[in-house]
Amino acid sequence: MNPFLFITVTIGIGVLFEKLFQKEEELSEIKPENIFEDFKVKYFKKSHVGATKTQITKSIEKIIPEYKSFKIGKTGNPTTRNAGHKTYTSMFLLCDSKDSDFISELENYYNSKYISHSKNDNKKVGSAGKSVSINGHYYLYIVVR
């Protein structure tokens, strides 16, 4: 094998792994004790989607007035979920499900619903990508500052 090609591929893989596993700055200030489950809905059946959304919406409406700004997202690992923009101080888990597609649907729904809110830091409705879970669960969250 060409040594130059080998070195290039090795560096490329290293950069990929660094990006994949790095702690991004946006939530790096959030300590585990500032991740709250007070509002978390456990999702069990597709037939309860309406009730789940109602409960999540009520939670978001209670949280937003208490803070300067917020961002809604999804993660498979709340303690290391970071997104690399502004610094947030607290995370509220809004929903927990083993169905990553359901959490993605909720993220899209709530980002669309709140995209024009004056306190919302989300700049677009789309997601940052697919979440990887460490325990088989996926979470919808709101971070605040």
Between 51 and 79, the higher pLDDT residue: 51
Q: 3-state SS string over 99-111?
A: CHHHHHHHHHHHH
Mean pLDDT computed over every residue of the chain = 79
Note whether residue 118 is domain-resident: yes
Confirm whether 135 is domain-assigned: yes
Reduced to 3 states, what is the DSSP secondary structure of residue 136? Answer: coil
Range of the domain at 90: 23-144
* CA-based nearest residue to 141, from 23, 30, 46, 20: 30
- Asked if the structure places residue 11 within a domain, the reply is no
The answer to whether residue 128 is domain-embedded is: yes
pLDDT value, residue 139: 92
pLDDT in tens, 34-69: 777 777 777 555 667 888 899 999 999 999 999 999
pTM of the model: 0.72
Residue 110 CB: number of other CB atoms within 10 A? 24
- List CB contacts of 35: < 8 A, sequence separation 6 or more: 78, 79, 90, 91, 92, 93
When divided into structural domains, the chain yields a total of 1
Note whether residue 4 is domain-resident: no
In a domain, 47, yes or no: yes
Residue 75 domain flag: yes
Within a domain: residue 67? yes
